[in-house]
Amino acid sequence: MSKEADSVFDEPQFRGGGYTPDPSDPATGAGTPHADAPLPVGQGAWDEPALSPALAGERPAHVQTYAQWLAAGRARLSATTTWGITLALALGSGAWAIVGAILSQVQGNSAGGLLLMILFGPAAEEMLKISAALITIEKWPYAFRSPVQIVVCCLAAALGFAAIENLIYLHVYIPDPSPGMIAWRWTICVMIHVAGSCIASVGLIKIWRHTMAHGSAPRVSLGSPFFMAAIALHGTYNLGAILLNPYLARL
């Protein structure tokens, strides 16, 4: 192989496309990327913050950076279209809440139920409620035009989750619930779910705003403190409900 082929400038990430396989290399197989196959957006060297334009030279015209991909996505979608996507995500989040509510009940009645109720259950529920919005931000951040759309998705999931969970409790787990228990489930429990999703949505907004402002791939770690706060709130409520259960049963 020539010295030119060993140059860093021959790396596929640097050229922004695939690489040309060496026909004499027996390791070259059908799975080898084609020379014209583009790399996933954001994985080329031109998205690296440490890249020196002075040393690297001008970016090839066919190489698309993450910022360019993001701008192109925003240009394709009108504000009306993004709100249509938001509505679809809100409806989907409500449907996804059904799965989350059922799974939470399975966890709560299994071995080690106390730990599941105050730690793993709240973590799973809070992340499920924001999953539709989080996946959208990670894959298609340009589908949101405003932080309000993110909050709408999270609130829809919280309300859907709370409604399904209450129906399960009041019609399956609690036979002939008292008026006080019904009021508790439809007020305090709903408020906890909504509060947790609102806190988590702040984390999602921070991730989305950073991506839109810097034209860089989403950094989920920016939202982690808010996700943990939502989980802590939910877990604290569950612990309190367990400790107060003898009193709540007499409502």
C-alpha pair distances (Å), 197 with each of 54, 92, 108, 179, 231: 46, 16, 20, 27, 10
How big is the CA angle at 234 (ends 94 and 221), to the nearest 5 degrees? Answer: 80
138-155 pLDDT tens trace: 999 999 999 999 999 999
Find how far residue 158's CA is from the centre of its chain: 15
CA–CA gap between residue 20 and residue 13 (Å, rounded): 12
Sign of CA dihedral 95, 97, 98, 99: positive
The one-digit pLDDT tens for each residue of the chain (251 residues) are: 445 455 555 555 554 444 444 555 454 444 444 444 455 565 556 566 656 565 555 666 666 778 888 998 999 999 999 999 999 998 887 676 666 666 666 554 544 667 777 888 889 889 989 999 999 999 999 999 999 999 999 999 999 889 988 988 888 888 888 888 899 999 999 999 999 999 999 999 999 999 999 988 899 999 999 999 999 999 999 888 888 776 666 66
Task: Specify whether the CB–CB gap between 198 and 154 falls below 8 A.
Answer: yes
Contacts with 251 (C-beta within 8 Å, 6 or more apart), sequence order: 178, 180, 181, 183, 184
Say how far apart CA 236 and CA 3 lie, in whole Å: 63
| Model confidence pLDDT, tens digit, residues 70-84 | 998 999 999 999 999
What is the C-alpha separation between 44 and 193, in angstroms, rounded?
40
Q: What is the pLDDT of residue 220?
A: 94
